[in-house]
Amino acid sequence: MSEDKKRFIYSLVFPGFFLLLLWTVKFFEISMELSFVEGGVYPRKWSGLQGILFSPLIHGDWKHLLDNSMPAFLLSLALFYFYRDIAYKIWVLIYLLGGILLWGVGREAYHIGASGLIYGLASFLFLSGIIRRVRHLTAISLLVVFWYGSMVWGLLPFDFEVSFEAHITGAVAGVVLAIMYRDQGPKPERSELDDEEEDLLDEDQAEEEASR
């Protein structure tokens, strides 16, 4: 088995487990005729702190869960594939930091769903891809942004039934971590322009040495 294939399979494990967990929680909630909404983040209320851990696992209905499932899976997969050495750290920090910020600044209501995590992963991969000059990361992030339904609009308070605060705090968490870990991750991709500049530099050095 090639190294790339092993790396890809490894990258599937945690995102697959998280996706299974999301659906298991929803199945359990429905089958037991329960509501887990109060397990979400409730800003500036001590009992609402539990939502930092539990809110990304809770979804209002099947559509909410379905809308969040594939973006969360694909972005997590990209993180674990490209950032293998620090993927767990980044994923957990986005998960927790986004929830902590949401608890501090969100509206007084229960905030549930994995969308904050999705925005955090997308902003991390996008900005880190720009900083580290990895085109694959920015391309993946942009594809998910457009597929997810124009994530940019989700940062604005157009629909007050949607937690735009979770989207903003998740994105902020991703940006902060992309800057903090700007020196870690995949190596910058070389472009044809870089190769041409290096060739010109080699030629100049050769001419300089020949003229001595």
CATH number of the domain encompassing residue 196: 1.20.1540.10
pLDDT, tens only, 10-29: 999 999 999 999 999 999 99
Identify the residue with better confidence: 192 or 53: 53
Joined together, the tokens standing for residue 173 give 């968490």
Residue 190 sits in which domain range?
A: 3-211
Give the pLDDT mean for 198-209.
Answer: 53
> Cα–Cα distance between 111 and 164 in angstroms, integer?
10
Assess contact for 165 and 115: CB atoms under 8 A. Answer: no
Q: Which phi and psi (to 5°) does residue 85 adopt?
A: -70, -30
Whether the pLDDT of residue 64 is over 60: the answer is yes
Q: Smallest Cα–Cα separation from 72: which of 10, 19, 8, 139?
A: 19
Q: Which amino acid is at 155?
A: L
**How high is the pLDDT of residue 144?**
67
Number of Cβ within a 10 Å radius of residue 186: 16
Whether the pLDDT of residue 196 is over 90: the answer is no
* Domains in the chain, number: 1
**How high is the pLDDT of residue 145?**
65
Model confidence, pTM: 0.83
Whether the pLDDT of residue 30 is over 90: the answer is yes
> Cα–Cα distance between 80 and 19 in angstroms, integer?
14
Whether the pLDDT of residue 194 is over 60: the answer is no
Band (58; pLDDT cuts 50, 70, 90): very high
Whether the pLDDT of residue 136 is over 80: the answer is no
